[in-house]
Structure 1
Amino acid sequence: YNMGSCVLRAVGDTKRPLYFLITSSLLNIVLDLLFVVVFHWGIAGVAVATVLSQAVSAMLVCAALMRAEEAYKLRIKSIRMDMALCRRILLLGLPIGVQQSLTAFSNAFVQSYINAFGSAAIMAGWSCHIKIDQFCILPVMSIGQSVTTFVSQNLGAKKLERAKAGVRTAIYMGTGLLILICVILACTSGQLVKLFNRDAEVVYYGVLFVWLTIPFRFFSAWNQTYAGALRGSGNTKASMLIMLFGLVICRQVYLYGITRFVNNVYTVGLGYPVGWICCGLLSRWYYKHSGWEETYIGQEKI
């Protein structure tokens, strides 16, 4: 499903992957109820329901590709391993995979600083904040993925200025969207935390962590959009290094240093925003001043 939906999104078809995912999710819910409540299969029933719903989404996206008449049409009998293309895909995709893996690993270290306080309420509050953060970042991540497709298509069509205009528009959209999300967070943070835990002390720390991050969230729009633009130009190494420096190295250096002098929930809670700020500023500087577009043109990719 992921591979097929990426192909469809790359040619501008973003609706059908969404429809297939909605279908798969609804089927998963129905099968969960059927296998667990009716057949009493327990955990095994949940697993079977998940696999079957994923298989359906995969079949739907493959059917869409097989019925296409354009160049991306899927022909099962024509599938072959092209080593040259495989190498190019790995060169583009491997840095992204490394970046995501190390960023997740870094987040585990942030959790260790929270755990050091030894308070179950603080740890639970942080967990609630992380769940809310994951929802907040999804819209700008989607914008970043769209920018990757938009930039690559326009560079391929030799429309460099249109690609840059798309990036600017995406920055405005992402920043505005995050400002709106922050306003909603500010008004409903207590209610949102209570969706996960209703203990008064947990709610207090969950709201505290949410409010600590609100003023800095718009930097995530810069991170995701500029990274998406660089990936669209084929420069995945630069986006990987910027993300790792900002979200891993800067964040860990800050936490290690600040906890030696002022070790409290406020300073540790600001660890996430420090990473966003460093990554956002560096991403913007690199995009504006590195001459990435000249490098791309020099490689005769457009």
Structure 2
Amino acid sequence: MNTNVNDMTTGSPARGILHFALPLVLGYILQQMYQVIDAAIVGRWIGVNALAAVGASSSINFLVMGFCNGSCAGFAIPVAQAFGGKDYHKMRSYVANAVRIAVVFAAVITLLTCMFCTKILGLVNTPSDIFRDAWTFLFLQFLAIPFTMGYNLLSGFIRALGNSKQPFYFLILASLVNIALDVLLILILGMGVAGAGVATLLSQAFATVLCWLYIRGKMRLLIPTGEERSYDNKRVSILLNNGVPMGLQFSITGIGIIMLQSANNALGTVCVASFTAAMRIKYLFTCVFENIGVAMATYCGQNIGARKLDRIRRGVKDAIGIMLVYFVLTVLIIYPFADDMMMLFVKSGEQEVIDNAAMLMRIANYFYPALGLLTIFRYSIQGLGYSNLSMMSGVMEMIARCGVSLWLVPALAFKGVCFGDPVAWIFADLFLIPAFLWLYHHLRKAVTAA
């Protein structure tokens, strides 16, 4: 077996999941760290208004980038399934057609979002005193969409073969480039918020190039040749059936997040800054849950390709155990130190921002097990090839966040905002857990009958 790939259809499920997830977790923590550094540099050296400007459009970013990244993750699922079934010709045909689809998606989404950037910021009630900086930052994020999709697509192919280490190494290098550019563009050249946007764009482009060079040099198993490069309508349909529902799942979730951010933005610049600071640290912790889920998508994809349903059940149980151990660790860190973490972004005199942000962190932390179950079951369902089913969990999240925005935020102000994510996680779990149990039973009957 090529040492650059990892067959997850044999051996201990817990060991395989951890072996795959650990580089992902470290990579995404690193990625979140440089976003923390972005926000810290902007908040401390430019000011609270600039910090608010960077975070004012985060829900829009989630909707657009969530669709792009979710689609790319979905395109990798048939690749993982074909690899698990040892059908490498089919795998490479999927790769060629996925690249074709991603190029079209990137071009169309970039054009539309850049054209309507101003209207989008008005949609989320961006305060007038930060509108110009918010527009600059968001426009640069939209310009980076082709590179964001390129990195997520290529790294998804690499991970589909069980190799999660290499994308981690590329994230390390991209993070260092991003931090160096932050210092150069913001602190030395004084480009302000624009510097943060340019730094992110260039680092994403760098990571994309690294993935492509690695595939060409070390994972030629993925490179289509001859008729494998041909357009295949059936495989395009399968890729779209996996990718589009995953993308829409994030976008549907994003609608609820936009509603929540719009309600929060209406509370004023202090609440926008508080939300921005808390989200930067929250994602640093929650990305671990997300990447346990990503590991489960590849794990389930390979094992359903190999028709090993018992390993899927054992893998889900092991993933839940890993998640609960990590949850205990987060409580020991977040509860006593949330206020100190917020002081990374603002000076000690901004007490209202610190208090609000720390409150959001602690409230969300209590509900992390709900988030852990959400990611494990959602990605497992996707890995089994039923992205349409998992998309419904995004609908549940959207409904929950809209309800919080319409009723809790007007009643409780920023404290209501703090319950937006927890309520959404619980609503999604109410759908996902029964859905997974039904799906597993259905697949088991189908395999037995065959």
> Structure 1 residues 57, 112: CA separation in 2 closer, same or farther (over 3 Å shift)?
closer
Superposed displacement of residue 190, structure 1: 0.5
Q: Which runs of 5+ in 2 are unaligned?
A: 1-150
Amino acid at match of 2:275: W
| Per-residue CA distance 1:96-128 (angstroms, 9 max, x = gap) | 111112222211211233344x45433432332
The answer for the alignment partner of 1:138 in structure 2 is 287
Superposed displacement of residue 20, structure 1: 1.8
Separation in structure 2 between the aligned mates of residue 259 and residue 41 of structure 1, nearest angstrom: 37
Instruction: Single out whichever of 224-233 and 156-165 deviates more from structure 2.
Output: 156-165
**SS state of the match for residue 334, structure 2?**
helix
**What is the 5 A alignment of 1:179-258?**
179-198=328-347, 199-245=350-396, 247-258=397-408
| Per-residue CA distance 1:251-274 (angstroms, 9 max, x = gap) | 3234434467x4444344222211
Amino acid at match of 1:225: I
> Structure 1 residues 29, 131: CA separation in 2 closer, same or farther (over 3 Å shift)?
closer
Higher relative contact order at CA 8 Å, sep ≥6: structure 1 or structure 2?
2
**What is the 5 A alignment of 1:65-84?**
65-68=215-218, 71-73=221-223, 75=225, 79-84=229-234
1:291 aligns with 2:439: yes
RMSD: 3.1
The 8 Å contact of residues 179 and 218 in structure 1, kept in 2 or not, is answered as no
Separation in structure 2 between the aligned mates of residue 34 and residue 75 of structure 1, nearest angstrom: 43
Superposed displacement of residue 88, structure 1: 0.9
> Structure 1 residues 29, 210: CA separation in 2 closer, same or farther (over 3 Å shift)?
closer
**What is the 5 A alignment of 1:8-87?**
8-30=158-180, 42=191, 53-68=203-218, 71-73=221-223, 75=225, 79-87=229-237
| Per-residue CA distance 1:138-196 (angstroms, 9 max, x = gap) | 11111111100001111111211111111111111122212311321101100111112
Q: Which runs of 5+ in 1 are unaligned?
A: none
User: How many residue pairs were aligned?
Assistant: 296
The answer for the alignment partner of 1:151 in structure 2 is 300
Identity between Structure 1 and Structure 2 (%): 26
Match of residue 314, structure 2, among 165, 170, 173: 165
Separation in structure 1 between the aligned mates of residue 362 and residue 181 of structure 2, nearest angstrom: 39
Separation in structure 2 between the aligned mates of residue 259 and residue 35 of structure 1, nearest angstrom: 37
Separation in structure 1 between the aligned mates of residue 219 and residue 421 of structure 2, nearest angstrom: 46
The 8 Å contact of residues 303 and 309 in structure 2, kept in 1 or not, is answered as yes
Superposed displacement of residue 280, structure 1: 2.1
Separation in structure 2 between the aligned mates of residue 272 and residue 11 of structure 1, nearest angstrom: 33
The 8 Å contact of residues 67 and 73 in structure 1, kept in 2 or not, is answered as no
1:4 aligns with 2:180: no
Superposed displacement of residue 203, structure 1: 1.2
The answer for the alignment partner of 2:86 in structure 1 is none
Instruction: Single out whichever of 44-53 and 103-112 deviates more from structure 2.
Output: 44-53
Separation in structure 2 between the aligned mates of residue 48 and residue 257 of structure 1, nearest angstrom: 38
Instruction: Single out whichever of 142-151 and 45-54 deviates more from structure 2.
Output: 45-54
Separation in structure 2 between the aligned mates of residue 176 and residue 283 of structure 1, nearest angstrom: 21
The 8 Å contact of residues 121 and 205 in structure 1, kept in 2 or not, is answered as no
The 8 Å contact of residues 189 and 210 in structure 1, kept in 2 or not, is answered as yes
> Structure 1 residues 68, 242: CA separation in 2 closer, same or farther (over 3 Å shift)?
same
**SS state of the match for residue 222, structure 2?**
coil
Separation in structure 1 between the aligned mates of residue 367 and residue 199 of structure 2, nearest angstrom: 40
The answer for the alignment partner of 2:251 in structure 1 is 101
| Per-residue CA distance 1:16-75 (angstroms, 9 max, x = gap) | 11112222332344456667888x595888777655544443333223222346642455
| TM-score scaled by length of structure 2 | 0.59
